[in-house]
Amino acid sequence: MGALRNPQVEPSLYDRDFYAWSQEMAERLRQRNAAALDWDNLAEEIQALARSDHRQLFNRIEVLLIHLLKWSTRTGSRPKSWKNTIDEQRSRLEVLLQDNPSLAQLAPEAVAERYTRAAARAAEQCGLPADALPGRSPFTPDQVLDYNYLPAGLDG
């Protein structure tokens, strides 16, 4: 059962057609028509963009950590898909950080925060016991982002 609506109150353009609203707001900004701007919704949308980029940084670092850990647990031949995933995540992170340089300062936090979950997923995917991987990331944030870095085995 949907929410009850007051038939007398017409939904705003923002609620009816986000795309049309965004185009209208962009035009009003270009015209510097401050009085015609939907300030509250504009502020919300700008914050949502920042949250999206923040989430993308943390999620991509988590995927990188999973694959770096998987890489480090296997000796000899490793699936090409692992290297492809590592390269793809680094490439997408490079673009994200070029577009948003201030996000780079969050890389250490992202590595620290996402490592535990990444280690659990890597262990599960490799059929290892949950405590088989280090309790803290064996990779620095710089190593995680470095195209030329691939870990040796965790035992050295």
H/E element, 113: helix 107-126
Q: Residue 156's pLDDT is what?
A: 45
What digits encode the pLDDT tens for the residues 99-155? 999 999 999 999 999 999 999 999 999 999 989 999 999 999 999 999 999 998 654
**Distance in angstroms (rounded) separating the CA atoms of residues 98 and 78:** 30
Looking at residue 146, its amino acid is D
**Distance in angstroms (rounded) separating the CA atoms of residues 64 and 71:** 10
Copy the structure tokens of residue 91.
Answer: 């490439």
Q: What is the pTM of this model?
A: 0.80
Helices (H), 10-99: 13-16, 18-30, 39-73, 80-99
Phi, psi (degrees; rounded to nearest 5) at 155: -85, 5
Copy the structure tokens of residue 12.
Answer: 């705003």
H/E element, 35: none
pLDDT of 65 above 70: yes
What digits encode the pLDDT tens for the residues 19-64? 999 999 999 999 999 999 999 999 999 999 889 999 999 999 999 9
**Distance in angstroms (rounded) separating the CA atoms of residues 68 and 8:** 58
**Distance in angstroms (rounded) separating the CA atoms of residues 120 and 129:** 9
